[in-house]
Amino acid sequence: MKRMMIAGNWKMHLNVHEGSVLVKRLNDHIIPHHSVEVVLAPSLVSLQPISQELDHRKFRLAAQNAFYKDEGAYTGEVSFTMLRDLVHYVIVGHSERRIYFNETLETVRDKVQAAVRNELTPILCVGETKQERAANETRRVVHDQVTTALANLTAEEVENMVIAYEPIWAISTFGGEISKPDDIQKVLELIRSCIGELYGDQAAKQVRLLYGGSINADTAAGYLALPDCDGALVGGKSLNYHQFSDIVEKAYHLQSSQRRTRGQDRKTEEN
């Protein structure tokens, strides 16, 4: 059974002190579960101090962004190479970076490659705007984002990565419309089948697909239970330790009940 991932994207919130206060609370509140991987993506300046305070049996760290060159005269940038010993994951192609920092399909592709080259796992974000959705272009947009970003990777590299579907219209800061889980399942299914066509069944089956967009403790289970959903990328509510711990617990309960169902199915087949 695949490990579910619940990742908290803190975005540009919490200074070093505030981040440290939240981490202390999360260390106390989150119970480690083998079936659920919990990832925190604080701001860049908080990564180092948080890495020292974090209970590494419970959490893994992610950076929110990095530059695709390994080193050089790129004032203000931080490379994937520099993050190698600090984080497991790097969020790549978040819609806020595509929109506010003009990241193109090609920039995102170069960042995915830089992550893989530096043995970091990208959490690739894809998703359409409200206008694209209204024009029935969701499938085309998401397909283009996925195929461009994964170009030149091996099936094994794709199999190990994480892709988050975050429809822009559902992200709290871009309007935060509440999405219907059935609609989300259709796009997750499309992403999986697109990977199947390009990289084969094994990669399609193993790649972890997350959903993100205004998830809270009340709505999380509806998305996490979708057949193609392997976790969540949580924004605003990851800053609230009650909400975030509750989302992690929801994931754990779902994983446990699915495991029980599978066990029962196996016993029925054996009898």
In the set 166, 228, 230, 246, which binds ligand 13P (CB under 6 A)?
166
For 71, which DSSP code?
A: S
**Does residue 246 interact with ligand 13P by CB under 6 A?**
no
Catalytic residue among 94, 103, 132, 159: 94
Beta carbons of 62 and 89 less than 8 angstroms apart: yes
Interface mask toward ligand 13P for 97-126; x: CB under 6 A: ------------------------------
DSSP letter, residue 3: P
4 vs 204, beta carbon nearer ligand 13P? 4
Q: Which is nearer to ligand 13P, 94 or 133 (CB)?
A: 94
Q: Please report, for residues 3, 38, 47, 238, the alpha-carbon distance to residue 244 in angstroms, rounded to integers and kept in the order given.
A: 18, 10, 19, 5
Among 14, 22, 115, 215, binds ligand 13P (CB under 6 A): 215
| Contacts (Cβ under 8 Å, ≥6 apart) of 255 | 1, 4, 33, 35, 36
Q: Of the listed 157, 159, 166, 249, which one is catalytic?
A: 166
How far apart, in whole angstroms, are the C-alpha atoms of residue 244 and residue 26?
A: 8
Please state, as a whole number, how many other Cβ atoms lie within 10 Å of the Cβ of residue 49: 15
> Smallest distance, Å, CB 9 to ligand 13P?
4
The span from the CA of 14 to the CA of 16, in Å, is: 7
Contact between 61 and ligand 13P by CB under 6 A: the answer reads: no
137 as an active site residue: the answer is: no
Between residue 167 and residue 186, which ones bind ligand 13P under the rule CB under 6 A?
Answer: 171-172, 176
What is the SS3 assignment for 163? strand
- Detail the DSSP E strand segments found in 16-141: 36-41, 59-63, 89-92, 121-126
At 72, list the tokens. 């050089």
- The residue of the chain with the least Cβ separation from ligand 13P equals 235
Q: For the window 2-41, what string marks contact with ligand 13P as x by the rule CB under 6 A?
A: -------x--------------------------------
Q: Which residues are catalytic?
A: 94, 166
Interacting residue ranges for ligand 13P, rule: CB under 6 A: 9, 94, 166, 171-172, 176, 212-215, 233-237
